[in-house]
Amino acid sequence: MFKLLRIFFWGLMISFIGSLPLGTLNVAAMQLGIYENITNAILFSFGSLLVEMIYVRISLVGINWINKQKKLMDIMQWITFGIVVVLAFASFYAALQTNANTENAGVNPYRNIGVNRFLLGMGLCAINPVQIPFWFGWSTVLFSKKILEPINSQYNIYIVGIGLGTLAGNCVFIFGGKYLVSRIANSQQYLNWVIGGIFAITALITLWKILNKKPSELAD
């Protein structure tokens, strides 16, 4: 029992800390919490963490197969790049359209995306291949330290910890964003500029990674 609790807290801690740096998913959850409601933001988070848990489970048993799917990873990176560019433009547009003199001082960047927020979270997480090497790396470390063993019960509790850690990290952004908006005048406009900048930088980094692959990677 103690070993399972230890594995659970390792998954929880790694996932929570890994969710704190600004990224596409936690920022999107924060925007949904600000412009729509907490329920939609939580639904989005549940969708994204469900896919993340599936990815981790696959990485634990099928990492060799995943590593061979170079072309699939390339396609997913291009899709991610396209979506992040759209989110950047939507955030900049929302910032430009913000009218500080109105009670509803903000334009929802996701208003034209008529997709259930749970499915939206699943979709955005599914095309984000960055988490695969992230979790493969951490799982390898835990295996090497004999903290995690190839046992189904350990895999399951590890994945539950990861899901709860991701949810807790997203909640920091969701409720933190709500708090900032309620305390700072015109904060939605400022947040949209900042978030648009984050998405733009993320898009540039993604594009740089795609265009600067090693020849051996491209040949595959």
Per-residue pLDDT reduced to its tens digit, 78-101: 776 776 777 677 767 766 765 444
How far is the C-alpha of 168 from the C-alpha of 186, rounded, in Å? 27
The tokens of 186 are what? 């015109």
The answer to whether residues 30 and 41 touch, using CB atoms and an 8 Å cutoff, is yes
Decide if pLDDT at 22 tops 60: yes
* pLDDT, position 185: 53
In this predicted structure, what is the pLDDT of residue 89?
78
Nearest to 81 by CA among 171, 217, 203, 170: 203
The percentage of residues in the chain with a pLDDT greater than 70, rounded to a whole number, is 74
| Backbone phi and psi for residue 68, each to the nearest 5 degrees, phi listed first | -85, -10
* List of E strands, the chain: none
Domain ranges, residue 116: 2-219
Confidence tier at 105 by pLDDT (50, 70, 90): very low
Write out the two tokens for 126: 């599914």
Q: pTM higher than 0.75, yes or no?
A: no
Q: Is the pLDDT of residue 34 over 80?
A: yes
As for how many domains the chain has, the answer is 1
* pLDDT, averaged across the chain: 78
